[in-house]
Structure 1
């Protein structure tokens, strides 16, 4: 994915640090991600969730709240109210960059913050929470300093899942200014509530309270087996994919792209590659045993898939045109390297080995022997088959883009 640093003022004099992640091709939407109270934008789960949005063609802005990570300001001087203000400022920064802020996604206390902020950000179309408390005062249960001591010295400590941060007297004072039930009831946006039944930090009863307070349209998704911070990558991946699908349903229809246009991008993480073909997006990768993450098909698998798809489509088209009673076509393919002497039919064999694709076609329907013979002949005439079987010339140019990039 393409990443760029976004820095913006929080409206109170501190500079906040964010990371904007863009999909390959024009984004179909933009989401603002609010992290948990003692975390930051670089939490591993946040990165996995952002990946899922980018793969769906949706841009993501993650940022550190005031006093967290690389953002300026003193965290001990912040409160839930200032977090909501930070979100509004971040939405403005996202709008300045992309002209839109379509959805809010909040994890833990960040989830409570997006519920409170959504009504103040007009262009938001959908809201997603992950492990969110029904009240920001839930944080008080995690105090490691007595409230009386905080009142006396003005600062205390809160610990969540082993992460300890300072909070000040202002956090307590501002709680009286927050009415979560009213904010949730007046959301007027589609809401997806995601929560782990065994969340050890924010109990599942919080999800029930949020869901009951919200008006329709609303949905609930159980994150079975996950912990509060979504430490297992598969839990974060599941949450991200489902959240991205939910948000995508509430975005304007994506314009159909040029069907002949193929764009790909790879960053530093080997070998995850974003692919955009027309209006379709997916990820290519290498298997784990080859050093990849196994997140998608590999290059040769994509080549074989293209041949298989072309074969099936060509047979379907021919049968329809000729009135052949063809119910179904199933194509299986396997790619391997063979020695040149085993593949003399190749028009331009390379030294040593050549590529061989074994194709097996199963057809179903009321078909005669003549139909089967003709279908076998037509399979070898599909356009991709002809391209692969003949010489292909590829022109390449390399251009240097000195802008900030990564993945």
Structure 2
């Protein structure tokens, strides 16, 4: 997945540092990711979610708000309103360069910001929040004893995530003036997805309930059962990425993906999702998505089926479909088919001679219905004629072509 460093002017003219994660293939839509309070565009959850969406053909712009990360400007002079203005500026930049964002994703305070910003961006169709507060002023709970000092003296140093930030009274005044429920009431037909972790110790799960109840349909809620506030574990970030990707496709106006003339079933793209392990994103004709991985015992993270399990799935599905087509054509009373497929390598007569092994796919086929013995025998015969069975049983030509770097 290509990821390029870019900059664009924020609300005050300061240059904001950003990453644009773009698809390997055709661009189908655009999105923006807004990070959490005092975080950056480079946190693990932002990278994981943006990368997964890019694999689906959705370019994602993730940027550092003014004064944070690698962006210019003074954080002490920013507030919640300036975050919203930075989001509007990001949307204008993205529209001019690649296309207007249809999807906004916001993490924590960034989630509250994208809700507010969406009402000013008419081409936004869907908004997803992760661990977002129902009231932006919730962030002041992190200021502790410094809160009174800010109010009394106009500013104070606050330690957040191991770093010191200057927070001014103007920030408190501004953030208390934003009503998320009001913004949701003016959401129009935009779809909302609320993701939240019951174990979130920073922004409680009750915030998700308030946001969800204030929103109109279409709206969805998904719990991130084992996640922390930063969604720092790969399994949780992967799950959030898959949910956002699958959910958003229902609401976005995705550009069609061209099908090559020499590939009637489209292109199956496999993209490495984790260079440190074996996790793979599989995108099929830009419409369907799967994951592939290896078990933990093989050094993987077991977040998807293994390659041989995917081959077994293809064999099982093709077997069932072929039997169903034949039964339907012959009007056989086949009520239901179940195919269990296992794969192993074992010695066979010819392989024994060379000391090698062969792949053995074992199919256990169960048929339900008022079938005669003759019907069952014929359907078992037909199972061996499914196209995938023939491909595996005979031979296939595999042509590999080096296409250059992504």
State TM-score, norm by structure 2.
Answer: 0.85
**Shift in alpha-carbon separation, 1:191–1:153, aligned structure 2, 3 A:** same
- The 8 Å contact of residues 24 and 263 in structure 1, kept in 2 or not, is answered as no
Following superposition of structure 1 onto structure 2, how do residues 26-41 of structure 1 map, counting pairs within 5 Å?
Answer: 26-41=26-41
Q: Does 1:324 align with 2:332?
A: yes
Find the aligned partners of 2:40 and 2:354 in 1 and give their Cα distance.
Answer: 52
1:143-170 deviations in Å (ceiling 9; x for gaps): 2564565478764333456665333454
Question: Gapped runs of 5+ residues in structure 1?
Answer: none
Question: Gapped runs of 5+ residues in structure 2?
Answer: 260-264
Following superposition of structure 1 onto structure 2, how do residues 1-400 of structure 1 map, counting pairs within 5 Å?
Answer: 1-23=1-23, 25-50=25-50, 53-54=53-54, 58-144=58-144, 146=146, 149-150=149-150, 155-160=155-160, 164-175=164-175, 178-188=178-188, 189-224=190-225, 226-252=227-253, 255=256, 258=259, 259-266=265-272, 268-278=275-285, 279-341=287-349, 352-400=356-404
**Shift in alpha-carbon separation, 1:205–1:390, aligned structure 2, 3 A:** closer
Shift of residue 59 of structure 1? 3.8
- Aligned residue for 1:249, secondary structure, equals coil
RMSD: 3.1
**Shift in alpha-carbon separation, 1:218–1:385, aligned structure 2, 3 A:** closer
Find the aligned partners of 1:384 and 1:250 in 2 and give their Cα distance.
Answer: 35
Q: Taking CA–CA contacts closer than 8 Å with sequence separation of 6 or more, which of the two structures ends up with the larger relative contact order?
A: 1
Shift of residue 399 of structure 1? 2.5
Shift of residue 85 of structure 1? 1.3
- Aligned residue for 1:326, secondary structure, equals coil
- The 8 Å contact of residues 30 and 99 in structure 2, kept in 1 or not, is answered as no
Q: How many residues align?
A: 398
- The 8 Å contact of residues 24 and 276 in structure 1, kept in 2 or not, is answered as no
Find the aligned partners of 1:196 and 1:261 in 2 and give their Cα distance.
Answer: 36
Shift of residue 343 of structure 1? 5.6
- The 8 Å contact of residues 111 and 132 in structure 1, kept in 2 or not, is answered as yes
Shift of residue 96 of structure 1? 3.7
Shift of residue 315 of structure 1? 1.3
- The 8 Å contact of residues 181 and 213 in structure 1, kept in 2 or not, is answered as yes
1:203-234 deviations in Å (ceiling 9; x for gaps): 34434443444344334444445443234444
State TM-score, norm by structure 1.
Answer: 0.85
